[in-house]
Chain A
Amino acid sequence: MVARQVDSLQDSSRFVIRPNCSLPWRGVVRFYLGMVVVSFGIAIAFALKGAWLILPFAGLEMLVLGAALYVVARRGCRWQTVSIKGDRVEVVEHDSTCTRRQTFQRAWAQVTLEQARINGHPSRLIICSHGRAVEIGGYLAEIEKEQLALELRQAVRPPSLTGLGSMP
């Protein structure tokens, strides 16, 4: 999801980009533990009856489920803000543990949408300048990325500044 605050008069805009995440991390953990208890409960009960070969399959499955939940939940904890103000483009990446900040010269900043080399794989939306680059919204749907790329380009170099038109 992308939330925008565009102030065309002051020529500043701020984009908050985050994946939608309907269950908080704690809920995910509880859900997972519940599932583990059930699955291992069944497997252990059968193992006690002598059918121990169910146990490794239950373990394997719980690993995959855990990985899936983790990947998705972690994706949900990551969010980025792109602020464009004055002569700076600032990209702040937040994840569960740290915050990274990158600043680009607005005049030099390029917004590009790189198509994937392998068919069907997602494209990458990148802001770069002077050999430094940062990917924006890797988790967004293709069409969202396109939309965002368009809006970012406009925000970085508004038509009103280049004189090619005016914002409504």
Chain B
Amino acid sequence: MSTATTHDTHHEEHPRGLLRWVFTTNHKDIGTLYLIFALAMFFVGGAMAMIIRAELFQPGLQFVDPQFFNSMTTMHALIMVFGAVMPGFVGLANWLVPMMIGAPDMALPRMNNWSFWILPFAGIMLLGTLFMEGGAPAGGWTMYPPLILQTGDAFPYLIFSVHLLGISSIMGAINIVVTIVNMRAPGMTMMKMPLFVWTWLITAYLLIAVMPVFAGAVTMLLTDQYFGTSFFSAAGGGDPVMFQHIFWFFGHPEVYIMILPAFGVVSQIIPTFARKRLFGYSSMVYATASIAFLSFIVWAHHMFTVGMPLTGELFFMYATMLIAVPTGVKVFNWVSTMWKGSMTFETPMLFALAFVVLFTIGGFSGLMMAITPVDFQYHDTYFIVAHFHYTLVTGSVFTLFAAAYYWLPKWTGNMYDEKLGKLHFWLSAIFVNVLFFPQHFLGLAGMPRRIPDYSTQFAEFNMMSSLGGFAFGLTQLLFVYIVIKTVRGGSKATDKVWEGAEGLEWTLPSPPPYHSFTTAPEVK
């Protein structure tokens, strides 16, 4: 938004008003659009989470009927995954990748425009299912047949919107890959690229590799329902478990698609505020690549209880445990980067530090779940819910906040309000733990996930979790206020913004000109 006001001289080139945003092919505009969309969807999905937590506040059915409750868990997941976290990181990539590698824009600006503008339509279609006969999809975001085939009129719309979301991600990923591969500034060799660019390159690679699998899976659901095929129906020689294999072959890389860019963001932020170079740059790159590779051979750990042969269970258990090694390397590298640094604790750093601690806790519970004999107990309980919210909320979402605070001064030219930022951090960090930590206990005590009502032994922790949830949700309104306030004004940011910042994007003015790098920068 800020960029619009800074180039009075070129105004006649760019359509003004709303149309400018509709037709824009500028990576900064599109990045902004993605980020705004992600934030909006974060609140839509968050509102659904509030409904879930309100219903679970006490035992008994209070507000919603069980069918609608299931719709809420399903839609909350779909919207957060495909509407909030992924577009959030694609937005960051749009803003930052060209600036970090010294390219004038993304490689395919027009495709960039399309890949964004598909999103709102897909989102509206997905939300539209809430008002259809038979209700919104309620079979879980994993869409396991045969249950998902019991969806009412919403079913084809669900499949179509998921297709659109997939197409958008694919186009985004292709654009990012092509940009990184072909548009680096002279001297910007692969091993000089900032880690954020590296993690996005690997993420985009994962996306390209698995998205067709996902598109195929949901299409087979569609043909099973309407065209008489029986890919997943035992009656025609199919197998409902086959869908789970296909889904998780996509789904496991997908969860890394949501966390790898977060690793990249944290690897940018920690060195800046530790005023020390990132420890083990090349091992970070290799660790990221190994995590990506492992993500292809561990999918069945999401489905240990379907009754696989022993050899299969052992293989997937060992492969899953291996993930701890490269992930550990990353955490050790971050800690070593801080070691003997000269640290300051501005809001982005606080979020990054909370990420390291809380994501590691999520990693620990992940390691515990890799152990198949115990996973038979953890599977489909709140322990799992706690685990993936530690990795996705205190992992991905916290890094999105960190990234927003870190680059907001660069994007807008204005400093955010540090006091409010810190307040936002502390409230978020405390309440997110009140929200999700008790869910570990609930799961261990035996509360299954995706239930609208529970036996009275789980009442205390659910109430605690709900209170944490409401508080965490409210806290995020503060973030919106901070962002709006920063966009509208504030003390001017310097070009470098942060004392310890390094990278091409900090050589540009704040805010950067509408078209950055008119002549390619030389990389040292």
Contacts and interface: CB of A to CB of B under 8 A. Distances in A.
Interface string A22-44: 11000110010001001100110
Contacts of B182: 21-23, 28, 69, 72-73, 76
A61 interface: yes
Interface in B153-189: 170-171, 174-175, 177-178, 181-186, 188
Given A22-B181, A57-B216, A143-B513, A72 B170 contact: no
Interface string B5-37: 000001011110001100111000000000000
Identify the interface centre among A21, A38, A64, A119: most chain B CB within 10 Å of its CB: A119
A115 B13 CA distance: 7
Contacts of A54: 212-213, 215-217, 246
A123 B15 CA distance: 13
Contacts of A61: 170, 208, 211-212
A53 interface: yes
Contacts of B505: none
B520 A1 contact: yes
Contact of B13 (A49, A55, A123): A123
Identify the interface centre among B107, B186, B219, B238: most chain A CB within 10 Å of its CB: B107
A71 interface: yes
Given A50-B242, A53-B223, A64-B171, A42 B209 contact: yes
A22 B12 contact: no
A141 B15 CA distance: 17
B24 A22 contact: no
A27 to B, nearest CB: 8
Contacts, number: 140
Given A43-B212, A46-B216, A143 B515 contact: yes
B456 interface: no
Question: Is chain A's interface secondary structure helix, strand, loop, or mixed overall?
Answer: helix
A142 interface: yes
Nearest to A143: B515
A126 interface: no
A68 interface: yes
A95 interface: no
Assign chain A's interface to a size class.
Answer: 35 or more
B118 to A, nearest CB: 13
Contact of B220 (A1, A22, A31, A51): A51
A39 B210 CA distance: 8
Contact of A51 (B170, B186, B211, B242): B242
A147 interface: yes
B107 A39 contact: no
A57 to B, nearest CB: 4
A115 B520 CA distance: 24
Contacts of B14: 119-120
A42 B213 contact: yes
B262 interface: no
Q: Closest 4 interchain pairs by CB?
A: A54-B216, A119-B15, A120-B23, A57-B212
Interface of B: 10, 12-15, 19-20, 23-25, 103-105, 107-108, 111, 170-171, 174-175, 177-178, 181-186, 188, 205, 208-213, 215-217, 219-220, 223, 231, 238, 242, 246, 249, 513-515, 517-520
14 contacts: A20-B186, A46-B246, A50-B231, A53-B216, A54-B213, A58-B212, A61-B211, A64-B170, A68-B108, A68-B175, A68-B178, A120-B19, A120-B20, A120-B25
Given A57-B211, A72-B107, A119-B20, 12 more contacts: A2-B519, A20-B185, A35-B205, A35-B208, A39-B209, A42-B210, A43-B212, A43-B216, A57-B213, A119-B23, A121-B23, A143-B514
